[in-house]
């Protein structure tokens, strides 16, 4: 990797599947409330990984054009 093409990695909390055959993991902020594996439905274990940051922006709904009949 060249120094000009690197992204900044930050320690990120993740949940990874406890099942040794399953390779699933998910960022803690995107995990299901019951903390089950999205693939095998098994239990998850808290861990850390160095990952690029994610921007958690919610897409705004497009505005409807105003009609001359709207009050």
From first to last of its 71 residues, what are the pLDDT tens digits of the chain? 444 456 799 999 999 999 999 999 999 998 888 989 999 999 999 999 999 998 766 666 666 666 666 65
- In 3-state terms the chain splits into helix, strand, coil percentages (rounded to 5) of 10, 30, 60
The domain spans of the chain are: 9-50
pTM attached to this predicted model? 0.64
As to burial, measured by CB atoms within 10 angstroms (0-12 exposed, 13-18 middle, 19+ buried), residue 19 is middle
């Amino acid at each position: 990797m060249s120094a000009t093409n690197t992204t900044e990695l930050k320690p990120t909390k993740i949940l990874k599947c406890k099942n040794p055959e399953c390779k699933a993991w998910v960022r803690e902020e995107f995990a299901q409330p019951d903390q089950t594996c999205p693939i095998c439905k098994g239990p998850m274990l808290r861990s850390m990984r160095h990952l690029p940051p994610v921007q958690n922006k919610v897409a705004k709904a497009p505005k409807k054009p105003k009609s001359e009949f709207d009050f």
